[in-house]
């Protein structure tokens, strides 16, 4: 009787340690996901700021300036539910304005334009990387949360189910080609 009780206590202790380790792992994944989201938000804000600065610099033609400024402003002001759409529209506006090299050359030829073009290329190149890191962290957290043990023992607590950030983040080809050269 005593040996059976000891084995039951050992088994419960092992199960408790395993569940505690799993809960800690899930917590670390949530922290990683939050950090990746903060980095993504920072890159999206940086991209919108660079685009707004360029749009108000007077380097681009008025139509291109208006398109870029409005898209960047909408992306910065978007509510969380509309953020993916607004950021996608900014990506589309960037591709529309910089679909040929003439606009990029106009930016580069202006005073301080080389720096502005480099900063824009860097900003649009970093957004897809930040989004990929965020979505990878979300995927890892979702895979762990889908395990039965996590659901049955409610190891995720009251944390919301992680959602990927889906947007059109394809940068203008002209900017990415020139930034590599």
pLDDT at 181 over 50: no
86-130 per-position pLDDT tens digit: 999 999 999 999 998 888 898 999 898 899 999 999 999 999 999
pLDDT at 36 over 80: yes
Quickly list DSSP for the chain: -HHHHHHHHHHHHHHHHHHHHHHHHHHHHHHHHHHHHHHHHHHHHHHHHHHHHHHTTT-S-HHHHHHHHHHHHHHHH--GGGHHHHHHHHHHHHHHHTSSHHHHHHHHHSTTHHHHHHHHHHHHHHHHHHHHHHHHHHHHHHHHHTSHHHHHTTTTTTPPPP-------PPPHHHHHHHH-
The token pair that represents 128 in the structure block: 């897809």
pLDDT band, residue 71 (cuts 50/70/90)? very high
Q: What is the pLDDT of residue 179?
A: 42
Q: What is the pLDDT of residue 1?
A: 78
The token pair that represents 108 in the structure block: 């580069």
Mean pLDDT of the chain: 93
Q: What is the pLDDT of residue 178?
A: 46
In angstroms, the CA 134 to CA 164 distance is 7
Q: Are 33 and 134 in contact (CB under 8 A)?
A: yes
Q: Which residue has the higher pLDDT, 179 or 25?
A: 25
In angstroms, the CA 150 to CA 170 distance is 36
Instruction: Give the rounded percent of residues in the chain with a pLDDT score beyond 90.
Output: 83
| Mean pLDDT confidence for 134-160 | 94
124-139 per-position pLDDT tens digit: 999 999 999 999 999 9
Close Cβ partners of 61 (under 8 Å, ≥ 6 residues apart):
106
Residue 124's nearest CA partner among 39, 41, 51 is 51
Q: What is the pLDDT of residue 103?
A: 87
Residue 32's nearest CA partner among 118, 125, 139, 127 is 139
Q: What is the pLDDT of residue 101?
A: 87
pLDDT band, residue 175 (cuts 50/70/90)? confident
In angstroms, the CA 123 to CA 68 distance is 14
């Amino acid at each position: 009787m005593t040996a059976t009780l000891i084995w039951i206590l050992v088994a419960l202790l092992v199960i408790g340690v395993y569940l505690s380790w799993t809960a800690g792992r899930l917590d670390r994944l949530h922290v990683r996901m939050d950090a990746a989201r903060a980095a993504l938000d920072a890159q999206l804000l940086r991209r919108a700021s660079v685009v707004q600065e360029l749009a108000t610099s007077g380097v681009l033609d008025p139509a291109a300036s208006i398109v870029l400024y409005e898209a960047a402003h909408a992306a910065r002001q978007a509510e969380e539910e509309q953020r993916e759409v607004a950021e996608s529209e900014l990506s589309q506006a960037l591709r529309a304005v910089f679909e040929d090299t003439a606009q990029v050359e106009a930016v580069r030829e202006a005073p301080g334009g080389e720096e502005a073009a480099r900063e824009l290329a860097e900003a649009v190149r970093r957004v897809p990387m930040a989004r990929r890191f965020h979505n990878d962290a979300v995927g890892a957290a979702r895979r762990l949360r889908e395990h039965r043990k996590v659901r049955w023992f409610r190891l995720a607590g009251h944390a919301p189910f992680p959602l990927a950030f889906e947007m059109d983040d394809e940068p203008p080809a002209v900017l990415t080609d020139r930034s590599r050269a």
